Structure formats: C-alpha cells, structure tokens
Amino acid sequence: MTRFDNKTVLITGAAGGMGSSHARGFHAEGATVIVTDVRDEAGAALVAELGDRAHYLHLDVTSPADWENAIAETERLAGPVSVLVNNAGILARTALIEDGDLDDWHDVIGVNLTGTYLGIRATAPSLRRSGGGSIVNIASTSGHVGTGLIAHYVASKWGVRGLTRTAAIELGRDGVRVNSIDPGVVNTPLITTPLHPGAAPVSDYFSPDAFAIKRMAEPQDITSLLLFLASDQASFITGSEHIADGGMLLGPALAAGQVQNRS
Ligand SMILES: NC(=O)c1ccc[n+]([C@@H]2O[C@H](COP(=O)([O-])OP(=O)(O)OC[C@H]3O[C@@H](n4cnc5c(N)ncnc54)[C@H](O)[C@@H]3O)[C@@H](O)[C@H]2O)c1
C-alpha cells in the first residue's frame, strides 16, 4: 500500500524507539518524512538509512522558535505538512507527589504536554496550506488511570487527551482531523532503560502475563494503527482516543488469567 504518496509527514522524537518505527512506516508508504528530534546524530543516521524522501531537522518541541524554523524548513524542502505526529515524550525520576522534584514536573509537562500544544499551534497553518490533513498525538494508557510515582507523566498524558479533543473541534472546519493513540507498554528505551542510576527500568513494574495479549507491544504494533489514523481511510475519525494496550486496562488480571487458562 502507498497511502502517503506526495504527502509530507513531520514526526517529533523520531529518532526514538517508536518514532523511528513510525518514520520507516510512513516512508515505506510513499511519504516524504521529516524526522525531528533533539538527538541529532541518531536522527541523521535514520535519515541516511531511509534515503530519498527523508530529511532531518533539529526540533526541541519545547521551543517555539524551533517549531517556527522546522515548519519553514519543511515547507522549503517538501511543501506543506499533511501529517503531524506529536510523538516526543519523556519520563522523569519516579517519586511520590510530596517528594517529587518540581524541575522534573516542569520537564515532563514541558515536553509531553506543552510540546504537543506548541506542535499543534505551529503546524496548523501548514496543514491548512496542504488542503487539510491529520494530527496524531501519542498519549498513553497513563492518561486513563492514575499511576503511583509518575504524577508528572500521568498528568501530561491526561492533558494530551483534552488537547486532542479541543484541537479536533477547532480544526475540523479546516479539514484537519486530530486523534490520539494511547499505547500501553511498548518495548522502547523509554521504559527498558533505568531512569536514573540504581533504578529498575519501568518495564519491570509491569507483568505482560496479566494482559489479555500476553506480551508488551513492539513499536510496529503502534505504527500500524498510526498509519491508519493518519490516512484517508480514517476520514471520519476525529477527536478520538485509540487505546493499543493488549488489554492491559480491561480489568482485573486474575479474571483475564482464569479465562485464558481454560483452553
Ligand atoms: N514506551 C512505552 O511503553 C510508551 C507507552 C505509552 C506511551 N508512550 C509514548 O510514546 C512516545 C514515544 O516514546 P518511546 O517509547 O518511543 O520513547 P523513546 O525514549 O525511545 O523516544 C522518545 C524520543 O523523544 C525524543 N525527545 C525527548 N525530549 C525531546 C524534546 N524536548 N524535543 C524533541 N524530542 C525529544 C528523544 O530524544 C527520543 O528520541 C512518547 O510520547 C511516550 O510518552 C510510550
């Protein structure tokens, strides 16, 4: 399939675990991909791997000036943006709310929530110039529940859900659809690398055996949903949240275990 021929797709945090999978997926389906990140070497390496129809731009999503520059450069290189994927995201040190570091709070809210807000603001005029398009925000199942020790991350992802709905209302008249994907546990460095020396990686806190689908996701599981949502096949879907968590949030693990042990 080539659902993205002649489309320009800008992805934030595209050098990372899920972002690089998304970049490869869009590129394989004909898009010109604008890989953006703060990790310039990794971003440039990905673009070299992709070859034609791929460009790297430095874009710190917390910087309005970087956004302005990225959109101008994108239009110069590849024309207006048809698809924006607000994918960049971070976690910070785990702590109880009462012990947490305010700088960590600001860092996580800054990248995950304010970065998404700035991305929508900066890209909306370009999406309009392209004749309409699609924004997909990468939220999280953490935006559907509370989770001890990561209040910053949970609050940021709940915020992304509200932002998604509001942007969908505001941009629908311009032919721009806005949706979120809310992944569960995905095998990327974000959760497989300890957040600070001596800490266990976040993935250690989850037991995929308790999910209805008994594994964590691979990035490609999320990319296939993203490609659908960003494409014209999803032409009437906007303001929607799409959980891809292998059934993690379905209900008590015990019940899921009992069902699956009966075969
Ligand atoms: N991995 C999971 O289990 C999981 C689950 C749910 C949601 N998510 C979300 O998926 C998205 C992608 O995460 P991932 O798992 O691929 O993580 P990752 O750490 O592999 O990739 C994140 C990328 O974001 C980049 N980044 C960090 N700060 C940035 C900034 N200020 N500006 C631009 N880029 C910046 C990093 O350099 C990195 O390349 C994030 O929004 C994350 O919150 C991840």
User: Of all atoms in ligand 1, which is nearest to the CA of residue 222?
Assistant: 10
For the stretch 60-74, pLDDT in tens is 999 999 999 999 999
Rounded distance, CA 60 to CA 69, Å?
11
Give the strand pairing for 176-183 and 83-86. Answer: unpaired
Architecture label for domain 8-254: 3-Layer(aba) Sandwich (3.40)
For the stretch 69-88, pLDDT in tens is 999 999 999 999 999 999 99
From 11, 12, 18, mutation site for ligand 1 pocket: most ligand atoms within 8 A of C-beta: 18
Token pair, residue 74, equals: 């994108």
Over range 23-28, report the average pLDDT: 98
Q: In which residue are the tokens 């008590």 written? A: 252
DSSP-assigned letter for residue 186: B
User: Of all atoms in ligand 1, which is nearest to the CA of residue 157?
Assistant: 43
For the stretch 151-204, pLDDT in tens is 999 999 999 999 999 999 999 999 999 999 999 999 999 999 998 888 888 888
Q: What is the 3-state secondary structure (H, E, C) of 82-115?
A: CEEEECCCCCCCCCCCCCCCHHHHHHHHHHHHHH
Q: E strands of the chain, at which residues? A: 8-11, 32-37, 54-58, 83-86, 133-138, 176-183, 241-244
Distance 82 CA to ligand 1 centre (A): 22
Token pair, residue 64, equals: 């309005």
